[in-house]
Structure 1
């Protein structure tokens, strides 16, 4: 049960208890007054307690409406946050897309492949730096003991260089986003 639901249930329960107590108090006091024979005071007290019960009911209804409004507002805020959560990252990637467009335009007008390779390498480094700033990091694999949390073994191979259970080759890089594995590294393990 969420905190909001608990709060809503607590509010409902407290309001209901207050109304019940007021009703019980009204009935008890009304019965006591009847026994004492105070008819004139009975009517005034009954009116007062009825008015108090109505006020409590109105307070309860207002609190319920406020809580419903709060719930709707926070749900809308969550939806907006989810919709635009990647905005900062996209803003950082747009200049990299611009650089790719420039490199492609330069490649179509010039056949200097060394310059194209240097440009692509610079764009790759810019892209990786942007992703690192967001918490992306490559998983170290080769020479490390096989760990199924970080590595996905696709085959075992014989190796004179490494002892058993050590990653000897990385077939596909693995990545972590902050402290969570985004994609395990595909590796070959010495067997």
Structure 2
């Protein structure tokens, strides 16, 4: 070993030399450096995790936006063509009306025209019934403002008060919903 520096070889108050203190400080610095590297490595790991989560969030948001746009488009498309089925069922009725009008112009047989129009009416009524349209029966029933629109009160000896005595315009229901209330005269 070489010559020692007399100042570094002197023990301090605890009995350690300056060389011991320097070595201990170097060890502490190395441990602090390792701890800092471990913290930095963990910090980097969490940064990557945060970036991955941000990317996932952006993808999920983009997927949701695409889903919302697609759903809105489908909804608009459905609303645009919702009546297609009904119109397809009504086209034969229109065809029959055209045939009846053309035939009546040629033959002038109004009895045959009336019979044809009656048949077409039954065909139209069948199409509408298949779609859930029902006529309301109003005459003889108690007045109900949910189903009836009173346009007049009339004196009636054969009906008690509040009973529909005459139907001026038919009322219709579409499945369970009132489509048009019946216009009625009610006994007073």
- 1:120 corresponds to: 117
- 2:126 corresponds to: 129
- 1:79 corresponds to: 76
1:8-87 paired onto structure 2 within 5 Å: 38-87=35-84
Q: Deviation string for 1:4-60 (max 9, x for gaps)? A: xxxxxxxxxxxxxxxxxxxxxxxxxxxxxx989712212222211111111111111
TM-score by length of 1: 0.79
Tell me the SS of whatever aligns to 2:166: strand
Residue ranges of structure 1 left out of the alignment (5+ in a row) = 1-33
- 2:147 corresponds to: 150
TM-score by length of 2: 0.81
Q: Deviation string for 1:126-174 (max 9, x for gaps)? A: 0011000000000101111111111101001111221111111110000
Q: Deviation string for 1:41-96 (max 9, x for gaps)? A: 12222211111111111111111111111111100000000000000000000000
Match of 1:160 among 140, 151, 157: 157
Structure having the higher helix fraction is 1
Tell me how far apart the structure 2 counterparts of residues 40 and 168 of structure 1 sit (CA, whole Å). 95
CA RMSD of aligned residues (A): 1.6
Residue ranges of structure 2 left out of the alignment (5+ in a row) = 1-30
Tell me how far apart the structure 2 counterparts of residues 141 and 36 of structure 1 sit (CA, whole Å). 94
Structure 1 consecutive aligned stretches of length 4 or more whose deviation exceeds 4 Å: 34-37
Deviates more, 1:100-109 or 1:48-57: 48-57
> Which is greater in Rg?
2
- 2:135 corresponds to: 138
Tell me the SS of whatever aligns to 1:38: helix
